[in-house]
Structures are given as structure tokens and as C-alpha cells.
Chains A and B, each alone.
Chain A
Amino acid sequence: MDWGTLQAVLGGVNKHSTSIGKIWLTVLFIFRIMILVVAAERVWGDEQQDFVCNTLQPGCKNVCYDHFFPISHIRLWALQLIFVSTPALLVAMHVAYRRHEKKRRFRNGEKIDIEELKNEKIHIRGPLWWTYTSSIFFRIVFEAVFMYVFYYMYDGYQMPRLVKCDAWPCPNTVDCFVSRPTEKTMFTIFMLAVSGICMMLNLAELCYLVIKICMKGSRKTT
């Protein structure tokens, strides 16, 4: 059980997404989840072991590490990916509900082709439009919230080489050295850039959906 299940669920949603939605999904899988699993986890893998403080005082390293990294970047990214993927589940549930309704009508006697039902591409209209648009809106909100949390927690997006720590039981202000700061900074900036791209894709998709519905509305009235 890992990101594979998420991939299976979101892949199902892919059929009913717009083109921009499909691009977003691809970017999410290739540039975020895959990078997280294949590369970023290794970079942060030894973070506390290789966090070294210039003191032999037992406990100082633990306390300093906890003070400067209340929640690790890698965990925040995992949570961000989970939260950002969750609104797509709303769409999947809505589509499943519609299919279920159609099946019910079929069982009650209406003539519907079962094969066609299975492969039918459900168009984004009516209540599904609202579900889809809300899911995109929530995605944007979650992305923005997490980007802000990163910025707020770590005073920007750069990983320092050295942090000065004077938490108890460290005897004085000690120098503590972070492992692989440059590599971590590069990955942080990369993940930030991809988050930004995903946010823009979501905004574009939102605008596209709104414009489409407005144009349909104006065509009906004329």
C-alpha cells in the first residue's frame, strides 16, 4: 500500500477531467509524487542522524533538531500531496453516484446499454460541474496553504548550513550543522516551482470552466 493506490483512484478520475485536468494529473504524478518517492525521500532519509552539533552534551542534538525542524519537509510534502489529491475523490464519488443511479433506472425497467454505461464519458454539466469546480477551488486553497506553511515555518525556502541553538540542555549557544543543505534547498525550490505550476494549471482550469458555462448561458439566451 503506497502511492500506487492513490494513482489508481486518481487515474479513474482522469477519464472525466478536462484536458487541463489531465495535464495537472500528469504533473502531479511525475513531477511530485515520483520525485518525492524516488529522490526526495533519500535526501531527507538521514536527516537526524547526520545533524551534528558542536557539543558532546547528551540530548542537545535531539532538542535542537526538534526546535529547528518541528515537522520535516518531506512529511509536509507528503501531507500536501494527500490533501491536494483528496478533492478529486469528491468528483470520483459523484461520478460513481451518477452511474449507480443509472444502473438503478436500468434495473427498474428503463432500457440502457450496460456496456455503454461502463465506458461512458460523463460530461461536466449540471451538479457535476459544481462538484468539479469546488474540487479545483479546494485544490488551489490547499496548495496555497501548504506553500504558506512552508514559508512561515522555515523562514523562506532556503535550508541553512548552520543553525545556532541554545535550547536546554545545550550548555551555551552551540553550532549545529544540517546535512546536505544545498541538495535540500534545490529540492525545496523544485517542489515549490512544481506546486506553483499546479496552482496555475488549476486556476486556468477554473477560468476555462467558468468561461465555458458563461458562454453556454449566453448562447441559450440569444
Chain B
Amino acid sequence: MSWAFLRDLLSGVNKYSTGIGRIWVAVVFMFRLLVYVAAAENIWKHERDEFECSIKQPGCENVCFDHFFPVSHIRLWALQLIMVSTPSLLVVFHVAYRENREKQHNRKLYRNPGKIDGGLLYTYLISLILKTGLEIVFLVLFYKLYNGFKIPHLVKCDMKPCPNTVDCYISKPTEKMIFLYFLVATSCLCIVLNLSELSYLIFKYSIKCYLKRHMKKEQ
């Protein structure tokens, strides 16, 4: 069980997506998942070992690290990737449900079970709203937990058992900051893509609905 599972899930979702949805999948693969696995994970690999405080008091480093990094950036990043990809499962389940129904009744109930219309449209819209909501939640969480997206070189810690205020040094703060900004930029891009897809679908189906009603009235 690894990121390959997520990759397969997203490939499955790709079949039932709109054009913008496919661009979203590509952005998530290339600029988020691949960057995470190939580059970002290694930066945060030894973050605890390389966190150094200017004191020999046993336990001080542990306590300070825990105080300043309640949940590591890299773990939040991984959680964000998983949560943001999961709403697409709703669409996959709905299509599977439709196909199952067709099998049970042994006749064609839908013109095309994978086409986004009727109930599937609402499922798709809900999945888009959930995706966008989760992206925003994680960005806000990052911002609130770490007071912005900056990583300082040095933090001053005065938790027990540290005897006084000690200086603690974080490893590779610049590199971590660069990748954090990259994460924020790709999250924002995904939010923009989701919102465009949402507007596009709402617009398209409103026009369809309106035209249908107009034609009915004429008849």
C-alpha cells in the first residue's frame, strides 16, 4: 500500500472527468504527488535529527521540537494529498452503482452510465465542492499552525525542562520554505481549476435546462 494506490484511483477517476477535470488530475500527479515523492519527502526526512538546540539539557530538544512542530509539514502535505483525491471516489462509486443497477435489471437504463447527467451531475458537483473545501481547509491549517508559510532559521524555546530560553536551530529552512510555497501555489492552482470546472458545469447544464424548457413551451 503506497502512493501507487492513489495513482490508480486517480487514473480510474480520469475516465469520468471533464476536460478541466483531466487537467486537475495531471496537475495533482505531476506537480504535487511526484514532487512530494521525488523531492519533498527527502528534505524533511531527518528533520528531528538535524534540529539542534544550544543546550545539553536532556529532553529539552524533544520538548522544543514537539512544541514548534506539532504536526510536521510533510505529514500535513501527505494528508492533504489523500483528502483532496478522495472526493473523486464518490463519482466512481456512483458510476459503479449505475452499472450494477443495469446488470440487475438486465436492460439498458442509462444511455451511458459514465456520462455526467442527472444524479451523477450532482455527485460530481458535490465532489468538486468537497475537493475545493478540503484544499482551503488545509491551507488555512498550514497558515494557522505555523503562523504563515515562513520557516524561521531559529526558534527561541523556554519549555520545561529547558533551564532558560534556548536557541533552537531548524535544518534547511530555506529549502523547506521554497517547497512550502510550491505546495501553496499548486493548491491554489487546483482550487482555481475546481472552481472553473464547477462554473463550467453549472453554466452548461443551466443552459441545457433552459433550452429544454423553452422547446417544451414552444411545443
Contacts and interface: CB of A to CB of B under 8 A. Distances in A.
Interface size class of B (residues with CB under 8 A): 35 or more
Given A71-B175, A72-B175, A82-B30, A49 B38 contact: no
A174 B38 CA distance: 33
Interface of A, secondary structure class, is helix
Contacts of B178: 70-71
A63 interface: yes
B129 to A, nearest CB: 25
A59 B37 contact: no
A73 to B, nearest CB: 11
A58 interface: yes
Contacts, number: 100
A93 interface: yes
Nearest to A107: B112
Given A59-B52, A82-B31, A85-B30, A3 B172 contact: no
Contacts of B52: 58-59, 61-62
A65 B172 contact: yes
Interface in B3-59: 3-4, 6-7, 19, 22-23, 26, 29-31, 33-35, 37-39, 42-43, 46, 49-50, 52-55
B133 to A, nearest CB: 25
A78 B39 CA distance: 6
B153 interface: yes
Contact of A49 (B23, B43, B46, B153): B46
Interface string A85-106: 1100100010011000000000
Nearest to B54: A58
Interface in B147-205: 153-154, 167-175, 178-179
B175 A75 contact: yes
Given A70-B174, A86-B30, A59 B39 contact: no
Contact of B7 (A1, A61, A69, A75): A1
Interface in A45-93: 48-49, 57-59, 61-63, 65-66, 69-72, 74-75, 78-79, 82, 85-86, 89, 93
Nearest to B14: A96
B106 interface: no
Contact of B30 (A63, A70, A75, A89): A89
Nearest to A49: B46
A134 to B, nearest CB: 16
Given A1-B4, A58-B54, A66 B171 contact: yes
Contacts of A96: 22
Nearest to A93: B22
Given A1-B33, A66-B173, A70-B174, A59 B154 contact: yes
Nearest to B31: A82
A96 B29 CA distance: 17
Nearest to B11: A5
B173 to A, nearest CB: 6
Contacts of A72: 43, 172, 175
Nearest to A70: B174
A82 B34 contact: yes
Contact of A169 (B26, B30, B38, B54): B54
Given A6-B30, A65-B171, A78-B38, 13 more contacts: A1-B6, A1-B7, A2-B37, A3-B38, A49-B46, A49-B49, A49-B50, A57-B54, A59-B52, A63-B169, A74-B39, A75-B175, A169-B167
